[in-house]
Structure 1
Amino acid sequence: MVFGILSLAATVPLLATSTVQLQQTAQETKDGNGSNIGSTKTNKCHLNVVPSPRERSDVKSALKDRRLILKDGFVKLSAQAEKDSPFHPVTAYFLPFPNAGYDGLVTTIDAMNMLNWLYIDSTSYRVTYGTRAQTENHLTGPMGLTLMADGSSKVTMDGWDGYMAVEGEDGEWSLYFDKDSNGLAGKIDENKTKRTAQIELHRDMLE
């Protein structure tokens, strides 16, 4: 039996080398402002964490020089200035999410360039990754970009950059999306949380 790329993606990780048709479709998509940015959306990138200018100085210092990694089944923040992390860095680009009419965000998950979808758990709002089947009933998009005056770009979800970093009692920072715009009220255990911070995800483009 022959499976198309989209149906295959529902059950197993994609091979990065198997996504040419999806990338060609993505290159034709437009962002919310109607600008054709497909040529940049299909470029691989790491995602750097940039704290909101409104955050306290201690939080800004704690989040400096961190990027997103895959660890323990979730998307977390690397150690500071960690260039050779033992954990796989989020290496992402945009692809049309199957049967959804919008772009999702995929990441390689290993050195073999297998791909998973990044998604937001619909109950906890924690950002994680998995196969198409694992994303069922969770939030997968629309994922987009905001292009900034200096030529850099940041990743958005449903038109805005409501990402938050949450520091657990073990000192690790995890990635969440503040879907309800209320500081993740009711979504995190305050007794097990040291600090939270509003952040942006800036693309660090790869050659």
Structure 2
Amino acid sequence: MKKLLSLFSLIIISTLLTQATAQQYLIENSSGIGPKIGFYKAPDAEDGTMFIGLQSRTKGKYVGAEFSLEYRGEQSYTTTGGSELTVRQVPVTGSLLVFAPLAENLAPYGLAGLGAYYTFYDYDGGFVNPGDDAEVKIGYHLGFGADVALSESAALNVDYRYLFLDGSDDLSNKEFSGNVISAGLTFYF
């Protein structure tokens, strides 16, 4: 957790320093792609997990869209019987972004979206059907963030999302909803 906080603190500080020294870049009516990293933690999971992904963004002056594909590593859950459950996810999400430009190169935004969460379960003993299982779950998210233009064709975004996602039918008492913090770098063309 300390590494995660250090990473995001470094990103935020570098964003603020870049903002203070950057020229006034305006990115609008453009599309781009780039990498994405982040951290996801469900309340019932023992630990959170880092994730990596790819995002595609389209940005107008006030409205935009984001599509992303991520890989979220293992989160462990302890069941009521004391067994271990490991969960991995591959989310494919789409979000609508509403921007409130404060400066030429700084645009805070609100977001809302839907996603398909390919969820892989690894059961360790104590279940009727031990082994691996997978399913697709539909979830939605709400959040906010900021987009900082680094040049005429690149922007850094940092955001927070709350994910609303139900647990598996077999694990209805486990909460998969949770907090998602992410940062991305988009190269526009």
Q: 1 or 2, which has the higher strand percentage?
A: 2
> Does TM, normalized by the shorter one, top 0.5?
no
- TM interval, shorter chain, is 0.3 to 0.5
TM (normalized to structure 1)?
0.31
> Larger radius of gyration, structure 1 or 2?
2
